Amino acid sequence: MSTEKPKGPASYFPSIEKTYGQPVAHWFGLLAKQPGLKHIELVSFLKSEHGLGHGHANALVAHHLAGKG
């Protein structure tokens, strides 16, 4: 088991799961259903429709758009 801490957007994932009570896979599923939206539009979607904070929404979107989520 690796003791290395996640870096970049993934470093927010434990906090996101704890704060909002959903696994990050849930949020990636929602983002996948919003094709064609730009980064800031996806961030706004998570903030306005699902109540995420800006930092958490931004981390999820960055990871998703990088093809990792």
Q: What is the pLDDT of residues 2-33, one digit of tens each?
A: 577 778 889 999 999 999 999 999 999 999 99
Of 48, 39, 46, whose CA–CA distance to 16 is shortest? 46
What tokens does 56 get?
């958490």
Contact 61, 8 (CB under 8 A): no
The first and second tokens of residue 11, run together, are: 């470093």
Report the C-alpha gap between 64 and 39 in whole angstroms: 10
- Structural domain includes residue 54: yes
Q: Are 6 and 13 in contact (CB under 8 A)?
A: yes
**Is there a domain that residue 38 lies in?**
yes
Whether residue 22 is contained in a domain is answered as yes
Q: 52 lies in a domain?
A: yes
Model confidence pLDDT, tens digit, residues 27-39 = 999 999 999 999 9
Asked if residue 2 is part of any domain, the answer here is no
Question: Is residue 58 assigned to a domain?
Answer: yes
